[in-house]
Amino acid sequence: MDIDKAVATQLANIEKRTGKSIADLSSLVRSSGLAKHGEIVAMLKRDLGMGHGDANTLAHVARRADEPAPAADADPLDAIYVGAKAVLRPIHEALITHIRGFGAFDVAPKKDYVSLRRKKQFATIGPATKSEVEIGLNSKKGSVGANFAKLPPGGMCQFKTRIASVDSVDDALIEAIRVAFDEAG
């Protein structure tokens, strides 16, 4: 099922049940003065008799409406490496610089990381904590080395590791990423 379509259907049903437009409901949320998601959900359930699912969805929509839209030319890394995680961006950029040397690939930004793809995803890179960048790899090999831990089957990646400095972007790490890059191609 298409998630965007499901959310649109849910929002249309909220409008029918409440007799108010999403814009009016979002205005109600803004005028409440509440900022925390949980407080907004509780208010919508209490004051409008909404079920948890509807209140949760509406709270997300109303809060997102207050956020400025990203500029068309905005760098997606600006949203990923923000606040305390901004200090990790040089690690990300060092990794990408090395990977670009392998050849062509696509970068698909996600909310908290980027997915690196050729014919299929070969790696993910993003902040795991305020002090570490996590690298996930997809490889058919039993081990890729470079301190990568093997993950249980069925996940987004088969291996992952975390690094805390640009100095950790060493030959062994780059070679492990190269293995996954070559297999994806």
Mean pLDDT of 87-106: 95
What pLDDT band is residue 68 in, cutting at 50, 70 and 90? Answer: low
Q: Supply the pTM of this predicted model.
A: 0.62
**Which residues, listed in sequence order, are joined to residue 115 by a DSSP beta bridge?**
108, 124
What local confidence, expressed as pLDDT, does residue 163 receive?
96
Which tens digit of pLDDT belongs to each residue from 97-135? 999 999 999 998 888 899 999 999 999 999 999 999 999
Which helix or strand (DSSP H or E) is residue 183 part of? Answer: helix 171-183
Question: Across the chain, what does the average pLDDT equal?
Answer: 88
pLDDT at position 110 is 86
Q: Return the top range by mean pLDDT from 17-21, 54-58, 92-96.
A: 92-96
Q: Which CATH class is domain 76-183?
A: alpha beta
User: Which residue type occupies 41?
Assistant: V
pLDDT of 1 above 50? no
Report pLDDT for 23: 86
pLDDT score at 71: 53
Q: How far apart are CA 149 and CA 137, in angstroms?
A: 10
Encoded tokens for 121: 């995803």
- The fraction of the chain above a pLDDT of 70, given in percent, is 92
How far apart are the C-alpha atoms of 85 and 89, rounded to whole Å? 7
Place of tokens 């993910």: 124
Q: If you average pLDDT over residues 41-55, what whole number do you get?
A: 92
Percent of the chain with pLDDT over 90: 51
Q: Which residues contact 111 (CB under 8 A, 6 or more apart)?
A: 80
Average pLDDT over residues 63-72: 59
Domain ranges of the chain: 3-65, 76-183
DSSP H or E segment with residue 117: strand 114-117
3-state secondary structure of 140: coil
pLDDT (0 to 100) of residue 78? 86
Q: Is 151 exposed, middle or buried (0-12, 13-18, 19+ CB in 10 A)?
A: middle
Quote the pLDDT of residue 10.
87
DSSP state of 81: S
